[in-house]
């Protein structure tokens, strides 16, 4: 069994160890040591990274009796090695995990909300609460938690038999845990069992910043960051808001107001554009009807070929043309790097759109399908797409 030096001293950065096992692994070697300062992923906390004799350890995991270091180098069994933790990663993870304890305690203490889930990924940490909380309540918990950080309260680790836990003010209790348990306690604050690494005082956490809350499974999911991650996230968002203010030529505190005004202007312009498109389409339909040839089946061939056309406008045009009695309809248009086509029969029209789209797929090298009454498909853009469209319309005129 690997001795877990990190459990009793989370500030220990380096140790000497003996290689117990070293086996080939998918991305290097799986190294087992008799002791280690590297924390294996677990309890919601990310794995430490570090080195063994200077060789990178990318991930650490734990089985029932072993801690396995995924290392890029091979070491002889029985050899003595130096194990060193990547302190930046360790500190980041301790800040997040200890911050999670403090923030969870704040929600529990203030609002009776229990933490029923904890997740830590790179640059995102969440806790799931078993009840809904408002944004204002989240800010109250955030203030409470940060006061505990700035008071720099001691954080202690104890090993106690499970029978003694009943006398402690535990935030959460797990009756299934038995034997000697590891208890992490913040003075005048959170007390709970935990396997993770924590600083010796809350001040090391630096800052706890909630970044988002949302409803989740009948409760609330709270996203937050602590310490360096919180600082860097705040800087990134400061740049975003400054850039937005510069783009809108307004003060930062008026960005949302300016965006709201722009949204109103855009909605007004869209309405004007819809009216203009509708008017243009009405004129185009009249022209198509006036010039429409009649094919062998006695149907008017209404074919619109459009360059750089929006799909929504194309569907509207297609719908209006398809309302024409005894009409064989085609709308062929380019949208960016695609050429799309739609075919349909107006009321009382004879024809087979399924056969037409098969021909279209052949001519354009595209894909699509449908039924006798209507069909649609598309193909990658090609410079000669209009010539191909005219060729297809010629086929429709002869149908």
Which residues in the chain show pLDDT less than 70?
A: none
Predicted local confidence at residue 12, as pLDDT: 97
State how far Cα 246 lies from the chain centre: 28
DSSP characters for 322-372?
HTSTTEEEEEEEEETTEEEEEEEE-TT----HHHHHHHHHHHHT-EEEE-S
- Tens of pLDDT along 194-209? 999 999 999 999 999 9
Predicted local confidence at residue 108, as pLDDT: 97
Nearest to 324 by CA among 289, 355, 353: 289
Q: Which CATH class is domain 292-398?
A: alpha beta
| CATH number for the domain whose boundaries are 91-237 | 3.30.980.10
Q: Which CATH class is domain 3-85?
A: mainly beta
| Residues forming beta bridges with residue 36, ordered by sequence position | 4
Phi, psi of 380 (to 5 degrees): -60, 145
| Residues forming beta bridges with residue 300, ordered by sequence position | 294, 327
Nearest to 79 by CA among 22, 24, 28, 23: 22
């Amino acid at each position: 069994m690997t001795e877990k030096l990190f459990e009793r001293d989370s500030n220990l950065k380096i140790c000497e160890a003996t290689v117990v096992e070293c086996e080939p692994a998918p991305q290097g070697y799986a190294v087992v040591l008799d002791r280690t300062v590297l924390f294996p992923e677990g309890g919601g906390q990310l794995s430490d990274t570090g080195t063994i004799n200077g060789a990178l350890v990318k991930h650490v995991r734990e089985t029932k009796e072993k801690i396995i270091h995924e290392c890029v180098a091979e070491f002889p069994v029985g050899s003595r090695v130096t194990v060193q933790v990547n302190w930046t990663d360790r500190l980041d993870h301790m800040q997040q995990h200890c911050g999670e304890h403090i923030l969870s305690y704040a929600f529990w203490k203030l609002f009776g909300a229990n933490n029923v889930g904890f997740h830590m990924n790179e640059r995102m940490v969440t806790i799931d609460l078993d009840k809904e909380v408002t944004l204002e309540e989240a800010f109250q918990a955030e203030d409470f938690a940060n006061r505990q950080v700035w008071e720099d309260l001691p954080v202690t680790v104890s090993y106690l038999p499970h029978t003694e836990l009943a006398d402690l003010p535990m935030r959460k209790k797990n009756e299934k845990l038995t034997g000697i348990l590891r208890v992490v306690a913040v003075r005048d604050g959170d007390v709970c069992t935990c396997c993770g690494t924590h600083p010796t005082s809350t001040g090391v956490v630096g800052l706890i910043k909630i970044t988002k809350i949302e409803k989740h499974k009948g409760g609330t999911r709270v996203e937050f960051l602590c310490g360096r991650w919180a600082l860097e996230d705040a800087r990134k968002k400061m740049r975003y808001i400054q850039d937005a203010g510069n783009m809108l030529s307004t003060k930062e505190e008026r960005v949302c107001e300016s965006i709201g005004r722009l949204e109103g202007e855009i909605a007004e312009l869209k309405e004007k554009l819809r009216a203009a498109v509708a008017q243009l389409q009405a004129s185009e339909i009249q022209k198509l009807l006036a010039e429409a040839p009649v094919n062998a089946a006695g149907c008017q061939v209404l074919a619109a070929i459009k360059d750089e056309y929006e799909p929504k406008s194309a569907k509207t045009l297609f719908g209006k043309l398809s309302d024409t009695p005894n009409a064989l309809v085609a709308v062929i248009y380019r949208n960016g790097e695609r050429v799309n086509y739609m075919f349909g029969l107006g009321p009382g029209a004879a024809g087979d759109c399924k056969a037409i789209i098969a021909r279209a797929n052949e001519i354009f090298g595209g894909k699509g399908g449908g039924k006798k009454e209507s069909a649609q498909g598309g193909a990658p853009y090609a410079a000669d797409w209009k010539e191909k469209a005219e060729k297809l319309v010629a086929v429709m005129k002869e149908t």
